[in-house]
Structure 1
Amino acid sequence: MLYTVGKAVTASGGPRTSPTAGARPGDEPTATSTSDPTPTVAGTDAEEDVRIAGCAVDSVTSWPAARMEIVNGSGAAADYYVTVEFLDEDGTRVADGIVGVVGLAPGRTAKKKAQGLDTAPDHVTCRITEVHRTPSVG
């Protein structure tokens, strides 16, 4: 999916209203232990666990940010590494951001911010480029 400030564009190309801007980082989840010494990550595909909840450019720094929601759809605690790119109106990448979550318990949600550190125009599109999910090790 592609997200723009105020609008999300689905794979079919149709617009969908997205949540309002105002990116704020969420709390870091705590690691959970599991009785199985070799946890497996089964359930949803990692890409299905991650979504962009908002996309904005800070009016003071001109840095773009994506508010991310990560829901662990697997059967064990998992670590996530997600990269996001920020595109201008022409589709040119102007910045990218990374967010990580460690020890997210099954079914739990983490709210994070992927922050770009390059100046961006007022209107950007946020796009998830990679999602890595691995079993959490303690």
Structure 2
Amino acid sequence: MEITACEVDSFTKWPHAELLVTNRSSKASTYTVQVEFVDAAGKRLSEAYAVTNAVAPGQQSSMTAQSLTQVTAKITCRIMEVNRYAS
């Protein structure tokens, strides 16, 4: 699991993280990811979840975790939890 972008939308002020998952297992898998958005001091501003279904073995899938909480500070995105389930 990799964060490929972490930003706040200039219009909505909603933070989002672009994620890339690689299925390194031998079975098609569904992934759920929890991301938190923190400010420069490490204070949690919001969180979001993302899901991608039926990623084939050896394949990659992009997903977006977006919060609906408006944020005006510069953010850092952190992956809090990743779960993989065989599809």
TM range (shorter): over 0.9
Task: Please state if 1:134 is matched with 2:66.
Answer: no
CA distance in 1, matches of 2:56, 2:28: 4
Is 1:56 aligned with 2:56? no
Structure 1 CA distance, aligned partners of 2:12 and 2:66?
11
Matched AA of 1:72: N
Cα distance, 1:116 vs. partner? 1.2
Q: Percent identity?
A: 39
Q: Which ranges of structure 1 fall in alignment gaps of 5 or more residues?
A: 1-49
Alignment of 1:19-58 (within 5 A): 50-58=1-9
* 1:116 and 2:67 are equivalent in the alignment: yes
TM-score for the superposition, normalised by structure 2: 0.96
What count of residue pairs does the alignment treat as equivalent?
87
Is the counterpart of residue 71 in structure 1 residue 52 in structure 2?
no
Amino acid at match of 2:71: A
State which of 29, 34, 37 in structure 2 corresponds to 1:83.
Answer: 34
Match in the other structure for 1:97: 48
Instruction: Tell me whether 57-66 or 115-124 shows the greater mean CA deviation.
Output: 115-124
Distance, in Å, in 1 between the alignment partners of 2:39 and 2:70 is 11
Query: Which of these two proteins has the greater Rg computed from alpha carbons?
Result: 1
What does the per-residue CA deviation read over 1:73-124, in whole Å, with 9 as the maximum and x for residues that have no partner? 1011011000000001111111111100111100111111110111112410
Superposition RMSD in Å = 0.8
| Aligned partners of 1:88 and 1:120 also within 8 Å | no
- Identify the structure with bigger relative contact order (alpha carbons < 8 Å, sequence gap 6+): 2
One-letter code of the match for 1:134? Y
Letter aligned with residue 69 of structure 1: L
- More strand by proportion, 1 or 2? 2
**Structure 2 regions of 5+ residues with no counterpart?**
none
TM-score (norm 1): 0.61
**What's the CA shift string for 1:5-49, capped at 9, x where partnerless?**
xxxxxxxxxxxxxxxxxxxxxxxxxxxxxxxxxxxxxxxxxxxxx
